[in-house]
Amino acid sequence: MWRAGDLVIDVRLPEEYASGHIAGAINIPLRELPTRLRDLPAGQVITVCSTGIRSRRGAETVARLGRTAFTVRGGTKAWTAAGYPIATGPEPGMRRRHSFWRRLASRMPPLDPR
């Protein structure tokens, strides 16, 4: 889902986010999620925190607001342990996209709107 470009929201406080977050994740602290979610692009959402506890609450909040939501079990600690990219600082950082996914998407026929 991350490689496909789905929205990743880190629900930790800004200083926690800056110390290390999933590359490409945006920071919306858990308490701000209900009011800021409507300003984000449509589609499914992945929530993350350090260990997965706050992100589970974030995913539940997102789901209550009518969006499909997932959480990263084990949080950024599990993400890092698995060898996936982490960014530091207040900006989201670059998401490493694999050309395989771009090639696959370019070969897919458009969806039939019926």
- Structural domain range at position 35: 7-99
pLDDT of residue 10: 97
What's residue 109's pLDDT?
Answer: 52
The verdict on residue 53 lying in a domain is yes
- HEC string of the chain equals CCCCCCEEEECCCHHHHHHCEECCCEECCHHHHHHHHHHCCCCCEEEECCCCHHHHHHHHHHHHCCCCEEECCCHHHHHHHCCCCEECCCCCCCCCCCHHHHHHHHHCCCCCCC
- 105 is a domain residue: no
CATH of the domain at 54: 3.40.250.10
pLDDT block averages, 10 residues each, the chain of length 114: 86 96 94 93 94 96 95 94 91 58 47 50
Give the chain's domain count.
1
